[in-house]
Structure 1
Amino acid sequence: MKLIKSAVAILLTLPMMALAGEVKVSWGDFDDFIDVRPASETKSAFYKRVKTSLEKSFTELGEKLPDGAVFEFRVTDLDLAGDVRYGGIREYRLVERIYFPKMKFDYQLIDGEGKILKEGSESLKDMNFLDRIRTPAQYRNDGFYYEKYMFEQWFDENIVSQFK
């Protein structure tokens, strides 16, 4: 009986599931990146938090791609917004205009048939990151807002636009 209930529940929810593409991300060595320095936590914990937070955001962008499309990219450098400073016995990340976010990556966009639609290397930077109102609700209370927003804007303009 449980099996039948489970099967019925799955069949009822299938039409509600949106078919989408996929985003696959891999990372270079965090120790070689320009600025992925922790303020007041261990390196390994901070690296894990950065990776987990950004990967979650990147993966959600796959919903904007058509079914079967795959966007694969490798982050080769990352410079988080702000700069780590010493303040008494604690370190903190000071966010000012001169410490804007930057990201470098190599990528491929592959359609559902395995054909490479677009590939290349990108070097993003957002020198106006403090001039905009933080509108996307998904990032409002989330860490690494500036980096996520910068990448999402590039993704929409350069990748999602390929399918419109």
Structure 2
Amino acid sequence: MKSLKSAVAILLTLPMMALAGEVKVSWGDFDDFIDVRPANETKSGFYKRVKTSLEKSFTKLSEKLPEGAVFEFRITDLDLAGDVRYGGLNDYRLVERLYYPIMKFDYQLINKDGTILKQGTETLKDMNFLDRIRSPGQYRRESFYYEKRMFEEWFEETIESQFK
């Protein structure tokens, strides 16, 4: 009886398991990036947090790719929204219009049979990043919101559109 319930549960969840593509990201040297400076944490800890947070967002985009498709990219430069201000004991990142996010990367989109569908070098800038309305709950109070949104918009327009 127990195995029958397990089998039924597996069969019911199979349609919800969407087969998706894969996103592979690699990074240049953080020390060479325009602005990935920490305010009140160690450099290595901040770099790890940037990497982990952005990669989590990038990996989620694989759900938008068809089965077998691979999107590979290498981030060659990053300028986070805002600028670090040094103020005694409490350094902070000041986010103003002047300090908009920039991301540079090389990429390849490969379909399941190994054919390169698209490749290139991109420089993304969102000079109006403060004028956009955040949708409720989307990245609310999440680190690196502006960079994630900028990349996801580009991904939808440039990569996801290849499969529609």
Runs of 4 or more above 4 Å deviation = 1-8
Structure 1 residue 91 and structure 2 residue 109: aligned? no
For residues 11 and 114 of structure 2, what CA distance do their matches in structure 1 show? 29
Choose 13-22 or 50-59, whichever is displaced more. 13-22
User: SS at 2:46's partner residue?
Assistant: helix
Shift of the 14–108 alpha-carbon distance from structure 1 to 2, 3 Å rule, reads same
For residues 97 and 155 of structure 2, what CA distance do their matches in structure 1 show? 23
User: SS at 1:24's partner residue?
Assistant: strand
TM-score (norm 1): 0.93
Q: Deviations over 1:129-156 (max 9, x none)?
A: 0011111633122110000000001001
Structure 1 residue 155 and structure 2 residue 144: aligned? no
Q: Deviations over 1:27-70 (max 9, x none)?
A: 01111100000000001110010000000000101111111111
How many equivalent pairs are there? 164
Choose 138-147 or 72-81, whichever is displaced more. 138-147
For residues 44 and 9 of structure 1, what CA distance do their matches in structure 2 show? 44
Over the residues paired in the alignment, what is the CA RMSD in angstroms? 1.6
User: SS at 1:146's partner residue?
Assistant: helix
Structure 1 residue 57 and structure 2 residue 32: aligned? no
Structure 2 unaligned spans of 5+: none
For residues 151 and 141 of structure 2, what CA distance do their matches in structure 1 show? 17
TM-score (norm 2): 0.93
Percent identical pairs in the alignment equals 81
For residues 12 and 88 of structure 1, what CA distance do their matches in structure 2 show? 58
Q: Deviations over 1:1-35 (max 9, x none)?
A: 97776555434322211111111101011111000
Structure 1 unaligned spans of 5+: none
